[in-house]
Amino acid sequence: MHTHSLLFIIFCIVGCSAEFYVIDDRIGLGREFDGIGGLSGGGATSRLLVNYEEPYRSQILDFLFKPNFGASLHILKVEIGGDAQTTDGTEPSHMRCKDDGNFFRGYEWWLMKEAKKRNPNIKLIGLPWAFPGWIGAGTQWPYFFPNITADYVVTWINGAKQHHNLDIDYIGVLRDALDRAGYTNIGIIAADGDWSVAAAMLEDPYLNDAVEVLGVHYPGTITVKEALLTEKKLWSSEDYSTFNDDIGAGCWARILNQNYVNGRMTSTISWNLIASYYENLSFGGDGLMTADEPWSGHYVVQSPIWMTAHTTQFAQPGWFYLQTVGKLTHGGSYVALTDRKGNLTIVIETMTHKHSQCIRPPLPHFDVSPQIAVFQLKGSFAHLTDLQVWYSKLDFETKNDTLFQRSSPIEVYDGLFALKLDVDEVYTITTVNTGQKGSYPDPPKSCLFPKNYSDDFTITLHSLKPRILLIKPVCLSTSEIAQIMARMRLPYDRWSPNDRTDLSVSCDVLIETPATGGVFLAARVDQGGESVREAKGVFYWIYANGTYKVTNDIGGQRVLAEGQSGTREGVWYTLTLSVKGYFATGMLNGYLLWKNAVVVEPKNGWVALGTLSFEYAQFDNFKVNAE
Ligand SMILES: *[C@@H]1O[C@H](CO)[C@@H](O)[C@H](O)[C@H]1NC(C)=O
Ligand SMILES: *[C@@H]1O[C@H](CO)[C@@H](O)[C@H](O)[C@H]1NC(C)=O
Ligand SMILES: *[C@@H]1O[C@H](CO)[C@@H](O)[C@H](O)[C@H]1NC(C)=O
Ligand SMILES: *[C@@H]1O[C@H](CO)[C@@H](O)[C@H](O)[C@H]1NC(C)=O
Ligand SMILES: *[C@@H]1O[C@H](CO)[C@@H](O)[C@H](O)[C@H]1NC(C)=O
Ligand SMILES: CC(=O)N[C@H]1CO[C@H](CO)[C@@H](O)[C@@H]1O
């Protein structure tokens, strides 16, 4: 197959065109390896995962976190919810008001516990993407109030410990506040952005002392001189963000190696962990695997999971990179890691340019061609006689990939072994013999969203009852469910893009404060998440001043119908919206209010409910019927 024996090596030494690479620890080691991770949130990217029924939900979690099974991640980074839309949806804050403190909202606590259950050594990181409005006292920029911001984050850390017994390992917050709260052992990652904080750290010793890790987003595997001069740990604390097909897998395999080879980054974290949000939202499918059909139980373990396993199952945080890492002569790269107790793991990738482009940044051209690589083990590894081999090939021609396959052990002769490398391959050559390719029986087949769906929004504080809706709550003292924004994709557009989605949706709504923007129920909504403000659809609004409106867009520019409704704040109303072909009809408390509004576009999309701005409203008894 791919590994070659003594005769071959001798032959090569005599004449074939092979290159030699030395793996040696006598010249000292490189940096400490900090692990490979996934990022849940930033935002709402794991939303649909909690809705899966067992056993599928546990199976998915095993593919992500269980050691020696699948991605076997070393790090879970989560969003500290801020009650604001942060890309694909909204995650709830633990402090919606100044005096609030609720550590059971959302699904990140649950996810962290599930990850810890599977791997007690997994490192946890929290990072806020947004803050509730009260923190910035009306400004959009809470960093003007560093103490409040820091206390807010410290409260989250306290809650994690007190209510969930979770120890947070790293955070994005001010060192002072952490120390005051007694969290001297929690590391600070700065600045979760670009490298510019490095220059600031070189000039400001206080800042330099406070920061434990320099974390950058999408570094394109390269670092800057200032970052190296800080002598801090360098991490790619958000990376990948690429559709999880084989090119995504190529991107991920390449950066997992080259973030160290080129940039000396010792951790790489994938945004996102799992594509558990509707594919039509921004960055659809940009997770290590996909689970976006809780109603069917269908999920897909895509190739990026197995690219991850090539590193995560054979090297752990606390291992060290060797100094002997680098590029291969004919393209690709290799890294070597050791636990300093005799174990050695070498990961080799030969991803081609066109099969490994990430979504960003642009990838400068390079060539990769088939090659023979002879590795020579020296120092502590000179005596090794056989090594485990794990192999993947992303086969873009036949589409018949080999993913994380265990091959026969390689025999090492006098410290030498050879590999015949083709393009778009990954090899792990290792002393570690605990690797396993985990599997479960095939999950249920993909199917369309149920034609009938209902939800009474009974949220009990401590439960995680499966539900389909994306929930957007804001601060409200009287009710746990304040503003609920649902963006539900009825996936009819997947198989009949030219057919119109005919359905009827109804919901009880209550305007809490005189909502100048109104409260809506909508169908055929074509945008969500960060693009929600450009959404088109059929929006049925009621206002507290006794009027209603029907618009073709969320911005209310295209009015299809309007008139008197008699609606007031503080009263429950049942809104019903039916769309059939080109026509829409609306009812209020079961009586026809408007009919035959003409809807040309969009033809299909999500059902949704919400308010325009940040007014408070309540929703109940949500029903969809698409027969
Ligand atoms: C912020 O905290 C520091 C102590 O870390 C304190 O000296 C300062 O007065 C506080 N500022 C405000 C506005 O509370
Ligand atoms: C290597 O790691 C294994 C676990 O895979 C461990 O049992 C062993 O002691 C380590 N050391 C050597 C030299 O193999
Ligand atoms: C895919 O490749 C494997 C070997 O790697 C082979 O056993 C299998 O038959 C191939 N499948 C198809 C459909 O070509
Ligand atoms: C859907 O709901 C309608 C009426 O609400 C009912 O007549 C129909 O039988 C339901 N269909 C399914 C598949 O449950
Ligand atoms: C009622 O409120 C809406 C939304 O603020 C506004 O557009 C509309 O003009 C108002 N209608 C009346 C009659 O005041
Ligand atoms: C983000 C995204 O993919 N949006 C698309 C969702 O589907 C509608 C209708 O097919 C497109 O117009 C959007 O661009």
Closest CA to 336 of 268, 430, 232, 416: 430
Residue nearest to atom 7 of ligand 4 (CA): 627
Domains recognised in the chain with CATH numbers: 6-29+322-430 (2.60.40.1180), 34-319 (3.20.20.80), 452-626 (2.60.120.560)
Measured distance CA(413)–CA(417) in Å, rounded: 7
Q: How many CB atoms are located within 10 Å of the residue 491 CB?
A: 20
Q: Which of 135, 143, 147 to mutate to test the pocket of ligand 1 (most atoms within 8 A of CB)?
A: 147
What spacing in Å lies between the alpha carbon of 401 and ligand 3's midpoint?
8
Q: Whose CA is nearest to atom 12 of ligand 4?
A: 452
Residues of the chain where predicted confidence (pLDDT) is lower than 70: 1-16, 137-145, 173-179, 457-500, 514-516, 612-615
- Token pair in block for residue 311: 């590193």
Among the bound ligands, the one closest to the CA of 606: 6
Per-residue CA distances from 149 to 80, 154, 210, 600 (Å):
12, 9, 17, 47
Please give the biggest Cα pair distance in the chain: 93
The helix or strand, by DSSP H or E, that contains position 193, with its residue range, turns out to be strand 187-193
Give the separation between CA 181 and CA 118, rounded to whole angstroms: 29
The answer to whether the CB of 30 falls within 8 A of the CB of 321 is yes
Ligand 1 contacts CB of residue 625 (under 6 A): no
User: What are the structure tokens assigned to 275, written together?
Assistant: 């594509």
Question: In this predicted structure, what is the pLDDT of residue 189?
Answer: 87
Predicted local confidence at residue 142, as pLDDT: 56
In contact, 542 and 575? CB cutoff 8 Å: yes
- The per-residue pLDDT for 480 is 34
Which ligand 3 atom is the nearest neighbour of the CA of 398? 14
Q: Are 389 and 409 in contact (CB under 8 A)?
A: yes
290 vs 45: CA distance, rounded Å = 10
Quote the pLDDT of residue 236.
Answer: 97
Which pLDDT score, from 0 to 100, does residue 10 have? 61
pLDDT at 91 (0 to 100): 86
Is the overall model pTM greater than 0.85, yes or no?
Answer: yes
In ligand 2, which atom is closest to the CA atom of 342?
13
For residue 545, the CA-to-ligand 5 centroid distance in Å is 6
Are the CB atoms for 227 and 214 separated by under 8 Å? yes
pLDDT tens, residue by residue, 579-615: 999 999 999 999 999 999 999 999 888 888 887 666 6
Long-range contacts of 162-168 (CB under 8 A, 24+ apart): 162/103, 163/103, 163/104, 163/109, 164/103, 164/109, 164/112, 164/113, 166/109, 166/112, 166/113, 166/116, 166/124, 167/124, 168/124, 168/125, 168/126
pLDDT given for residue 499 in this prediction: 60
Q: How far is the CA of 504 from the centre of ligand 6 (A)?
A: 22
Instruction: Report the DSSP beta bridge partners of residue 191.
Output: 215
Judge residue 139's burial from the number of C-beta atoms within 10 Å of its C-beta, 0-12 exposed, 13-18 middle, 19 or more buried: exposed
- The per-residue pLDDT for range 522-550, each reduced to its tens digit, is 988 888 878 878 889 999 999 999 999 99
**Minimum CA distance residue for ligand 1 atom 13:** 147
Q: What is the pLDDT of residue 387?
A: 98
What letter would DSSP give residue 85? B
Write out 256-325 in H/E/C secondary structure: HHHHHHCCCCCEEEEECCCECCCCCCCCCCCCCCEEEECCCCEEECCHHHHHHHHHHCCCCECEEEECCC
pLDDT, position 214: 94
Cis omega (within 30 of 0) for bond into 205: no
Q: Is the CB of 397 under 6 A from ligand 3?
A: no
What is the Cα gyration radius of the chain? 27
CA 400 to ligand 3 center in whole angstroms: 6
